[in-house]
Structure 1
């Protein structure tokens, strides 16, 4: 199971990175009309949440720059940013490297219990490293879909 979970994490992250690959910085920073966030925010939020679930809530050191929770935490929005957030190119690199760190840290250790169970905003209680990482598949999938939707609204469609 553990190898398959890492395969799933890599697959989902690969899909996210592929969706972000062709997004110009200007479009990444744009907030579509009627929405609170941008593609840039979606990418940063995926990164921040994965750090929390894969490392911080497991009692491990995560790679969370100090301003990331204000920029990309739940309930945040680019409308409230007082300084420029990282460019999409930096966020893509962080997302890519994150999967390597997760696999290196947790391979063969997924059964370990977290320091404390955690109940998500959707009401699911997580107690093992494996459960925390499995939940991130759902979370990233939701934000991947938002990225695809925002791209459809913001980027011109190629002509056939």
Structure 2
């Protein structure tokens, strides 16, 4: 069962990366009407939240720059971005690296009880499941945004750059 969790992370992340790779550069910073963020933001958000839940970012891991919390944390938006914002290519490299690190987590750790329940999860394994669900939710948002951008056209939508 524990191997299944890590296999699901692998399948989900590879699919996520495949979707991101199909997004053109001129689509990544478009914010269609009715959406709170951009494909660029969703990509960084998935990376950042997964780092938080699986590795304790920003306190227990230094694999991501600390400013990712201000760029991609809950409640953030591209309209407020200042300073250095990583490119989509940088984020994709970090997503691949993160998957490698996730796959190195000892399977026994999935049974560990969290110090205090988080999002209804009592164990690290339950939290891993919620993390995968979170990634899938944002994957759906990216797919929807890409379709709308392609349908309406970039020139008729809001650009956050």
TM-score, L = length of structure 2: 0.85
Q: Distance in 2 between matches of 1:110 and 1:46?
A: 20
* CA 1:108–1:119: 2 relative to 1, 3 Å: closer
Query: In 2, are the aligned partners of 1:52 and 1:62 still within 8 Å (CA)?
Result: no
Instruction: Give 1:142's match in structure 2, choosing from 137, 152, 158.
Output: 137
Alpha-carbon distance in 1 for matches of 2:85, 2:131: 23
Q: Give the CA deviation at 1:96.
A: 1.1
When normalised by structure 1's length, the TM-score is 0.86
Task: Tell me the SS of whatever aligns to 2:122.
Answer: strand
Q: Which residue of 1 aligns with 2:17?
A: 17
Gapped regions of structure 1 (runs ≥ 5): none
| Structure 1 runs, 4 residues or longer, greater than 4 Å off | none
Matched, 1:154 2:145: no
After superposition, the Cα gap between the structure-2 partners of 1:22 and 1:156, relative to the gap in structure 1 and judged at 3 Å, is farther
| Equivalent pair of 1:51/1:62 in contact (CA under 8 Å) | no
Written as runs of structure 1 = structure 2, the 5 A alignment for 1:74-153 is: 74-114=74-114, 116-120=115-119, 125-153=120-148
Distance in 2 separating the partners of 1:138 and 1:106: 21
For the aligned residues, what is the CA RMSD? 1.9
